[in-house]
Structure 1
């Protein structure tokens, strides 16, 4: 079995471990068990007819005397591109709108309040080819572009907050950004969050396409809680998650595009670590499939020229502040993960572990300020 055919770690464990051992292995690997959601039959049937995986899970919090539960349902959508990478640009965008639109409809059937798509969801992940054309044609306005208008209609129709990561073209200067547009369930554009960190590793060397973000660590207050968007490579930077949390994020989405040979051993760890360290929920989303490009490209690492950069392994999941996480979606199939969470769990875990209360932030700030000075000398004690 090749890497791209391997369905999921969870399925393999369930297929080969005795039930008595399976529960303990899952407890150690995934933390406290998340309960399955009872999803509507109409949604299950629609997902089957439209050929995508549908899973649902629930994170519970303890009952409180002074606060009612704050239950929110999020939907994570992972998918492969619909048309070949050399199809006309407009056809590719329209096909993606159609595919994701039908998945959002199923999310609405499941009562989802906030839905998030994968990184630059309207296009192939072409940044690694180093070609500007035709890929920059996918870039569009975050406020007035066709994809934002499409998402506004979804938001109004289904009363859902939409997080739409796109390649943004800004204003008269035409600056390109890797941007997540956040659209309120009212249909209005609430704001945008730009990718803070640009990868420079192997095929993923994207600095010739777009700039490091300038929106800081924006958090968006919605009817369903305070949300933030930590785009792709930002998940490797703990301080990036931390700053979204310090600005009040209760749920941090991490829309990504990453392949197995590069990052898969890190995938199940990073968003989960961030949920634990920052007393919040994190949502990791990755695309699936292998995207082929007409022109060969190289990585600048001595490897032979190639037409693709590997298998996007999906495996989207949600992690909770208590260290538990949901099972992931498939490594190979389009999918919708529906997760219900009680946001009261954030404060409950904060009260238990007190990571933020015991953090020595003023000390860190002083020392960090020193490290960026040209005359910085590490605090090393020598004999």
Structure 2
């Protein structure tokens, strides 16, 4: 990946300085100073040894008279797969565990409270192939599968909450598969799970060959560190999906994703959608994307007229956080594994709600009425024509 652009931020920092850079930061990120947080020397050394990027930024809130600050350290991890996709399933999964454990250990020594991984982090993103074997063998129980057991041990060790996106095997319902985020508490127990609401059917993303739309609604999980929710990958293109998590009380919404930089990809939208959601819903958002190229043993096609191929393009990383006022931090690399940490004050959520009054002015009653009409079989769009009597 030596010919790939390292990051959008690298382009800016290599070409701007002084007042120009300050003005860019003010206009693009929302503040002149990104409030970078100092990391421990041991964390920087461990990241260098394990070859992953590490960065941390603060999102403070104004001091209040009636509430103490609610400071939470939140981390997101992006990474490439660890061994080629033609290796045995157990070997592939074990290699990813070994890679990610080093990043979790660094997060633990930095006192991170919550970590979210990218979509289906413990396996290659094989759903482009439409092949059932061996990819379905990565599926496991959300409650007591090997991935949950692996993370439960680390959760208890570091008093850390994990948001773990896996391919779930629903053993209680005919062994069917789901794209599921498992929420593991700081004690190591499973709080609950959420299944992906919106399934893409575009380009190489043939995910409906493996699982269908989720049946868990829009749950918000009350953890020791705050109320969190998970908008899995393609759900970020659906504004009502983001909205419902906010209406259910989410303070932080994670968007674990697997999205590419190819022509049919969404890189130009990546920096907008999770940020827009934070602004509109007055909560923190975390956008997490995987990294690297993943080549598969057999060629596959996309039904788009293009030649058969063995990969779907570059997963471009670029994970980032946004605060409820729309201020965001620089993203991680497009090409490297990385741990990004945010030191956030959750009091900012209510402060922004009070300031901007989006919830007060949102007119849900009007939209409920309009949407109910849209669903009617004989619905007629509300269009006014020039010569209509």
Q: TM-score, normalised by structure 2?
A: 0.97
Q: CA deviation at 1:205?
A: 2.0
Corresponding position: 1:341 with 2:344: yes
Work out whether residues 4 and 313 of structure 1, in 8 Å CA contact, stay in contact via their aligned partners in 2. no
Structure 1's 244 and 4: CA in aligned 2 closer, same or farther, altered over 3 A?
Answer: farther
How many residue pairs are counted as aligned between the two chains? 382
- Partners of 2:154 and 2:17 lie apart in 1 by 44
Residue 49 of structure 1 aligns to a residue whose secondary structure is helix
Residue 277 of structure 1 aligns to a residue whose secondary structure is helix
5+ residue gaps in structure 2?
A: none
Query: 2:243 is matched with which residue?
Result: 242
Residue 310 of structure 1 aligns to a residue whose secondary structure is coil
1:5-34 CA-to-partner distances (Å, cap 9, x unmatched) read: 100111111111132101101211111243
Work out whether residues 4 and 331 of structure 1, in 8 Å CA contact, stay in contact via their aligned partners in 2. no
Corresponding position: 1:178 with 2:179: yes
Which runs of structure 1 show a deviation greater than 3 angstroms over 4 or more consecutive aligned residues? none
Q: TM-score, normalised by structure 1?
A: 0.98
Residue 321 of structure 2 aligns to a residue whose secondary structure is strand
Q: CA deviation at 1:374?
A: 1.0
Corresponding position: 1:257 with 2:248: no
Query: 1:162 is matched with which residue?
Result: 162
Query: 2:12 is matched with which residue?
Result: 13
Counterpart mapping for 1:224-243 below 5 A: 224-243=225-244
Residue 56 of structure 2 aligns to a residue whose secondary structure is strand
Query: 1:53 is matched with which residue?
Result: 53
Q: CA deviation at 1:4?
A: 6.0
Query: What is the root-mean-square deviation in Å for CA atoms of aligned residues?
Result: 1.0
Residue 5 of structure 1 aligns to a residue whose secondary structure is coil
Corresponding position: 1:284 with 2:287: yes
1:307-349 CA-to-partner distances (Å, cap 9, x unmatched) read: 1010000000001111110100000000000111000000111
Residue 228 of structure 1 aligns to a residue whose secondary structure is strand
- Partners of 1:5 and 1:255 lie apart in 2 by 22
Residue 62 of structure 2 aligns to a residue whose secondary structure is coil
Residue 167 of structure 1 aligns to a residue whose secondary structure is strand
Query: 1:88 is matched with which residue?
Result: 88
5+ residue gaps in structure 1?
A: none
1:71-111 CA-to-partner distances (Å, cap 9, x unmatched) read: 00101000000000000000011111111111100001111
Counterpart mapping for 1:268-347 below 5 A: 268-347=271-350
